[in-house]
A = this chain, B = another copy of it.
């Protein structure tokens, strides 16, 4: 196809936005392993999951054969409020790097949640509403997911209860205020409102909380209140499914202008954004229609793909959730206090893990000072202040573009820019003051994490 003049930003029209989510599992030869009941080590049944999750979402979670799930009209209407998100040609970055590479990024941050999280939040809230529930509970660390969920619930008139890791609750009061503005009830975790919270407070009186603990509290709250279910913002198959609007949008925009990316990359914490971006392209690969180099970028401080093991492990540190087969550092691994809160997760989505295991994608890890250097350079020429999480992808995209300058290759690089950094200025301040350091876990640190992975036959 003849190359058309590429605008700075490609916006799809409403008619061109996807009408169905794409389920990459349908095209995978090796399906992601099923969630296991930690007591029996048998696959979790829909019935068992129904105590925690909404019914329709469980169907999406368990279905690995249906390639497309229609997006209900009410969700598509919500998407129209902040989507289509632009596919941006990074002309200014290319010029600054003096690279022959062409760089594109799919920008998901132009909404009040500040990230791609809204894509799944509205879907999960919609199905909860549809099931006649009163509300949902969840946990949030850095706050993007909690914000997104509170926005979705406000829109649908659903109650929203967020357990926010106590140190974030105290250090990020502005994120908390956004959630409150959207009517959510935000509780610092651990709290006195749940049994598990009280137990943890008794055991560790001064604790500032953890994501694992907040998950446990949110799950307990959901299962102990009539008309509530628990929702999660990453890792799960259903979340990746909803996030495929990112990749489907991108695919349509690229096709419209006859652009074929050589490299596709994104940051990976739990895998929701990366999985959503790459799924349709991985589908092409799996069906033998096209080939792409796909790269997951993770922090060197929490390297689940590059240094983890492929095992069944708990999704939470409290070890009450089902077991998922994934690349993991162990549910007991404690990542250092990096500024990319959204990437501080010990595991990786089963879908992304399986694709990585099968050699359909690569992974790289990067250190946070080099990530902030890339973020600043990007901000100054592209005009967007990126989230620390998203900046991991910027770092590797820039490295690839610089390599192209050296080799003369005219590669087309596509990356996902998941969010903005407006609530991360403490981190930027540290970087501006030259006061930021890197942390790479030692082999002994990793071993301590691996020791927390449950041992049972077939899980070695």
Q: Is A380 an interface residue (CB 8 A)?
A: yes
**Does A379 lie within 8 Å of B80, measured CB to CB?**
no
Q: Is A68 an interface residue (CB 8 A)?
A: no
Q: Is A381 an interface residue (CB 8 A)?
A: yes
Query: 28 pairs across A/B with beta carbons < 8 Å?
Result: A7-B14, A7-B80, A8-B77, A8-B80, A8-B81, A9-B81, A11-B11, A78-B383, A81-B92, A81-B382, A110-B110, A112-B383, A112-B385, A114-B422, A151-B383, A155-B380, A155-B383, A173-B425, A173-B429, A174-B425, A178-B385, A178-B428, A180-B432, A182-B379, A182-B380, A183-B380, A422-B422, A422-B423
Q: Is A304 an interface residue (CB 8 A)?
A: no
**Chain A residues near B (Cβ < 8 Å):** 7-9, 11, 13-14, 77-78, 80-82, 91-92, 110-112, 114, 151, 154-155, 173-174, 177-178, 180-183, 376, 379-385, 420, 422-423, 425-426, 428-429, 432
**Does B81 lie within 8 Å of A383, measured CB to CB?**
yes
**Does B380 lie within 8 Å of A154, measured CB to CB?**
yes
One complex includes copies of this chain to the number of 2
For the complex of A and B, 7 pairs with smallest distance between CB atoms: A174-B425, A8-B80, A154-B380, A177-B425, A422-B422, A112-B385, A177-B429
**Does A383 lie within 8 Å of B432, measured CB to CB?**
no
Complexed CA–CA distance, A178 and B380 (Å) = 11
**Does B7 lie within 8 Å of A13, measured CB to CB?**
yes
Query: Which partner residue on chain B sits nearest A151 by CB separation?
Result: B383
Complexed CA–CA distance, A432 and B154 (Å) = 15
A108 to chain B minimum Cβ distance, whole angstroms, is 12
Given contacts A11-B11, A422-B423, whether A177 and B432 have CB atoms under 8 Å apart is yes
A276 to chain B minimum Cβ distance, whole angstroms, is 19
A82 contact set on B, CB distance < 8 A: 383
A183 contact set on B, CB distance < 8 A: 380
